[in-house]
A and B are shown apart, each in its own frame.
Chain A
Amino acid sequence: MLWHIVGRELFQQLNSLRFLFALLLIIFLMILNAIGHIKQYKTRQIEYRQQVSTALERLEKNSDNLYNLVMRGPGGLNKQPSKLAFCAQGSEDYLPTSVLGWSAGWSRSSPTYKVSGLWRLMYDVSPPITGTDIFPTFLKIDWILIVSIVLSFLALVFAFDAISGEVERGTLRLTLSNAVARGTVLVGKFLSILMSLGVVLLIGILMNLLLLSGTLQLNGQEWGRIVGVSVVSLIYLSVFIALGLFVSSLANRSATSLVILLLLWVIWVLLIPATFGTILSGLNQPLSTQDYKAQRSSQRKEITERYEARGVYEHVPTRVRPPTDATVLWAEFLNEERRADFRLNKEFLAARTHQIQVAREFNRISPTAIVQYAVESLAGTGFQRHLDFLKNAERYADAFNDFLIAADRADPDSLHVPFVREGMSDKPVSFESIPKFQDSVRLGDAFKGALLDVMLLLLFFVVLFATAHVSFQRKEI
C-alpha cells in the first residue's frame, strides 16, 4: 500500500511544473559551479606546487650545514588544496594557506658573541584576501549553496501543499476512506518528495561531475566523500520536507502554509547562521594582536633576564669537550625561549580557535550551518580541515626537531648539546634524509568530523517528522 501511495505521489510530483523549474535551476547552477571550479582548481594547484617547491629549495639550500636547519627551520608549510573544493568553497577564501616555519626573528649581538633565535612555528598569518576584493559580498556558487539554500527552498515548495492542498481539494478524505493508516499516507508523501528532490540532486551532481571529471582525477576515497556529501544533503533536505509536512498539516489553506514556511525558511536558513553565532562569539574576545605581541616580548624579556642573572652573557659557548657550563646554559636558554614562545603562540591560537568554535556550536541551531560544517568536513575544506592542517604542521615540527637531534647524534665530532651552535654538528645533511612536510587529508578524520553533524541533522529530522506525524494524526479532515 505504501509503495502504491509513493508511486502515485511521485508521478504527480515529477509531472508538475515546479519539478521542471527545480531541475532546470539545479542543472544550471551545477554547470556554473563546474565551469567556475575548473579554472580555480588549476590556479590553486599551480600556486601550491610553487609554494612547495620554493620551500624545498630553501630546505636544500640550508642542508649544507646542520645548524642552518636548526636556526632557519623547514620554511613555509603549505596546506594542500582539496580536490573537492567545488563542494565547499565558501570559507576557504578566508583561511590562511600556510603556516610559517622559519627563523623567529630575534637576534642579539654582543662584541663577543652573536646569537639568534631558533626556528618555531608561527600561526598568526592573516587570511589571503587579495586585491580583487572589490565586490559587494556574495555567496560562492558551491554545492553547499545549491543544497543548503536553493534545494531547501525547493523542498518547501514541494511539500507545502502536500497535506493542506489535498484538504482543500477534498482528495485526502477520499484517500483516507480506504483502509490506509494516516501514518502510511504521511510516510508515502515524505518518500515521494524526497525521491523527486533526490532525482533533481542526482542529475545535478552527475552533470557537475561529468564536466569536472576531465580536470580532476578523483580516486576511490574522493568518490566515497562525494557519496557522503550526497547522503548528508539528502538528510538535510529531509529535515525541510518534514518541516513542510508539519506546517502543511497545521494550516488549512496551502497559501497560508507556504507563507509560514517561507518566513521560517528566511529566518532559519538565511538569517540565523549570519547573526546568532556572531553575536555570541562577541562575548569572548581573544587577546588582540598588539596585546599578544606585548605579552610575547615581555615573556622574552623575562626569560632573558633570568638567564642573564645566571650569567649567560658573561660566557660564550665553545666547542671544548666535554661541554662547558656556558655551552649547556646557552643551549638551555635557547630551548626554553623557543618552548615558551611557542607555547604562548599556541595559547593565542587556541583562544582564537575557541571563539570560532563557540560561534559554530551556537550556529548549529540552524540546520543550514550544520550541513555546511558537515559538507566542509567531508570535502576537506573549511575550518575543521584547517585545524587538522595546523595539527599536521605541529606534528611535522616535532618530527623535524627529532630528526635534527638524530642527525646530530650521527656526527661523532659533535658535542651533542642541542640546540646551541657550538654544541651541534656543522656538517652538511643529506637532503634526502630530511623529513618533508606532507599535508594530507584523512578520510577517517573527515567522517569523524561530520558524524556529530549528521547525528544532529537526524535529530532535527526525527523531531520534526514526529511532530508532523502527531499533528497529522490529530487533524480533522
Chain B
Amino acid sequence: MLWTLIRHELLMNLMTFRFLVAVIASMSLVLAGSIVLTDNYERRLASYNEGFQRHQEGNFSGKTYSSFRPSLDRAPNPLSLFNQGLDKRAKNSLQIRIGEVPFLWGDVSRNTGFSNPFRYLLADIDLVSIFQILFSLLALVFAYDAIAGDREDGTLRLILVNPVGRGLIVLAKYLGAMLCLTLPLLMSFLLTLLLQLQSNAIHYSADDFLRIGGIFLTTVIYTSTFYLIGLFISSVIHRTATSLIVSMFIWVVLTLLYPNVSLFLVNRFIDTEEKVRQADQAIDQILEQFHWAEVVPGDPFENPPLLKGSKSGGGSSSYTHLKKNIVFIPDAAEIHVPTVKAYFQELTSGRIRTANKVWQIRETTFSETYIYKSNIARNALRFSPAGLYHLSTEAWAGTGLARMQDFFKAGRQYRETILDYFYDKKAFSSRQWFASDKGAVRWDDAPRFSYQPPSVFEDASNRALRDLLLLFILNPMLLMMTFAVFSRQEV
C-alpha cells in the first residue's frame, strides 16, 4: 500500500512544472558554478606548484646553518570547490625561522591564484552555497501544498476513504517528494564531478570520494529537513497560498537572514582588538628585552678587529646578520673564531627562548580571541539548518579553521624537529653556522617536511558527524510533529 502511495506521489511530482524547473535550475547553476570554480582551482594549483618548486629548490640550498629558512606551502584543496571555507582566504605558506614560531595570523601571505587583488570584489560562490539556497527553496516549493493542496482540492478526503492510515499518507508524501528532489541533486553532483574530472588539475583519491559522498548525504538530509519544515507548515495552515508565504518567510529567515545576522552580531560584539593589542605590547616588551641583552656581548662583526673576512649577503639589522655567509676567513682572524662561535651559540639559544616565550603569549591570546570568536560564531550558526549544513560540509571538505590550524601545527612540529636536528649536529656552536669557508653544509640527512591531512574518518568523527547528526535529528522531530498535527485534523 505504501508503495502504491509513493508511486502515486512520485508520478504527481514528476509531471509537474516545478520538477522541470528544479532540474533545469540546478543543472544550469551547477554547470556555471563548476566552470568558474574549476578554473579558479586550476589557477590556484598552478600558483601553488610554482611556489612549491621555487621553495623546493631554495629550501636546502643554504651554505650555512644560519641561512636555513625553509618555506612550506599548503596545497589548495580540490574539495574547496564544494565548500570553499577558508581554503582560499587563509594564509597558505609559512616560513620556518629559528626566532619565530609560525602561526596562522602572521604576516599575511596568501596565494589565492588571483593575480589581481581587486578580484576579491567579485563574488565567488561554491557548490554548497548553490545547493544551500536552491534545494532548500525547492524543498519548500515541493512541500507547501502537499497537504494543504490536497485538502483544498478535496482529494485528501477521497484518499482517506480507502483503508489507509494517515501516518502512511504523510510518509508516502515525504518519500515520494524526497525521491523526486534527490533526482536533480544526484544529477547535479554527477554533472559537477564529470566537469571537474575533465580538468587535468583535479585528482580525487578514494578518501576524497568518501568526502564527496558525505557532502551528498548531508545535502540530502538538509533538503529533507526543509521539505519537512514545509510539510509541517502545510499541515498546520489550511490555505496553500498562505502556507507558501509562511514557508517563504521562514526560508528567508533560516537561510539568508539568520546566518548573516548572527555572524554580524558575533563580529560586532565580541571585541578581540583590545586583547590582541595587549598581547602585542607584551610581545614587543619581550623582544625589546632580548635586543637589549643581545647588544651586551657585542656583535663580533660590528667590532672590526675580531673577524675580518669577506661576506656575501648581510645587512644592518640585528636579525639579518644571522644570514651572513662568510666565504673566507684570513689566518690572522682564525683566533677569533671560538669567540664568534660562543657568541652565536649564546645568541641563538636566546632567540629560541624568546621565540618560545612569544609563542606562549600568542597561543593563549589566539585561543581567547580569534578561536573563541570563531567558536561562538560557529555555535550561533548551529541554530539554523543552513548553518548546520554549512559547518558539516565544511568539515567533510576539510576547509574549516581547524584544518588550517592543523597545517600550522605541522609546521610548528617541523620547526621543533629542525631544532632537534641542529642540536644533534651541534650546529649552533659550529663554524658552519656562519661560515662556509671549510665546506658548505650538507643537508642530506636533514628532516623533510610532510603534512598528512587527517583522513575522512577522523574528520567525520571529530567534526562532520556531530553537525550532520544535529541536522538529522531535526528530521524525525519534524516528521513526528507533522504526524501529530495531521492525525488530529478534521479533513
A356 x B245 contact (CB < 8 A): no
A309 interface residue (CB < 8 Å to B): no
Within 8 A of B (CB), among A383-440: 383
Nearest CB on B from A6, distance (A): 23
- Which B residues lie within 8 Å of A299 (CB)? none
A132 x B89 contact (CB < 8 A): no
Q: With A21-B249, A136-B85, A274-B124 in contact, is A39–B117 under 8 Å at CB? A: no
B122 x A352 contact (CB < 8 A): no
Task: Identify which of A149, A290, A352 contacts B116 (C-beta below 8 A).
Answer: A352
A193 interface residue (CB < 8 Å to B): no
A353 x B144 contact (CB < 8 A): no
Contact mask for chain A residues 82-104; partner B; CB cutoff 8 A; 1 contact, 0 none: 00000000010011100000000
Which of B218-226, B262-270, B433-441 contacts its partner?
Answer: B262-270
Task: Identify which of B18, B116, B272, B273 contacts A356 (C-beta below 8 A).
Answer: B116
Distance between Cα atoms of A193 and B144 in the complex (Å): 25
Q: With A132-B272, A135-B267 in contact, is A281–B21 under 8 Å at CB? A: no
A258 x B244 contact (CB < 8 A): yes
A359 interface residue (CB < 8 Å to B): yes
Closest A residue to B381 using CB positions = A136
B156 interface residue (CB < 8 Å to A): no
A254 interface residue (CB < 8 Å to B): yes
Contact mask for chain B residues 270-284; partner A; CB cutoff 8 A; 1 contact, 0 none: 001100100000000
Distance between Cα atoms of A266 and B39 in the complex (Å): 24
A383 x B89 contact (CB < 8 A): no
Nearest CB on A from B98, distance (A): 23
B33 interface residue (CB < 8 Å to A): yes
Q: With A136-B263, A352-B116 in contact, is A263–B241 under 8 Å at CB? A: no
Please, how many residues of chain B have a CB less than 8 angstroms from a CB on the other chain?
A: 68
A207 interface residue (CB < 8 Å to B): no
Contact mask for chain B residues 1-41; partner A; CB cutoff 8 A; 1 contact, 0 none: 00000000000000001100100010001001101100110
B191 interface residue (CB < 8 Å to A): no
B133 x A132 contact (CB < 8 A): no
Task: Say whether chain A's binding surface is mostly helix, strand, loop, or mixed.
Answer: helix
Task: Identify which of A18, A94, A288 contacts B121 (C-beta below 8 A).
Answer: A94
B36 x A165 contact (CB < 8 A): no
- Which B residues lie within 8 Å of A255 (CB)? 144-145, 240-241, 244
B73 interface residue (CB < 8 Å to A): no
- Which B residues lie within 8 Å of A383 (CB)? 118, 121
- Which B residues lie within 8 Å of A278 (CB)? 36, 122-124
Contact mask for chain B residues 118-130; partner A; CB cutoff 8 A; 1 contact, 0 none: 1111111100011
- Which B residues lie within 8 Å of A289 (CB)? 115
- Which B residues lie within 8 Å of A96 (CB)? 117
29 chain-A/chain-B pairs, Cβ below 8 angstroms: A32-B264, A32-B265, A35-B268, A125-B117, A129-B89, A134-B373, A136-B85, A137-B84, A138-B260, A139-B260, A153-B252, A254-B241, A255-B244, A256-B17, A258-B245, A259-B244, A260-B21, A263-B137, A263-B141, A274-B123, A278-B123, A279-B32, A285-B115, A286-B115, A290-B50, A352-B117, A355-B119, A356-B119, A383-B121
Give 3 closest A-B pairs by Cβ, nearest first.
A94-B120, A131-B105, A274-B123
List 13 extra interface pairs beyond A125-B117, A141-B264, CB under 8 A: A18-B245, A32-B264, A124-B117, A132-B370, A133-B89, A133-B90, A135-B377, A136-B85, A274-B129, A275-B29, A289-B115, A352-B116, A352-B117
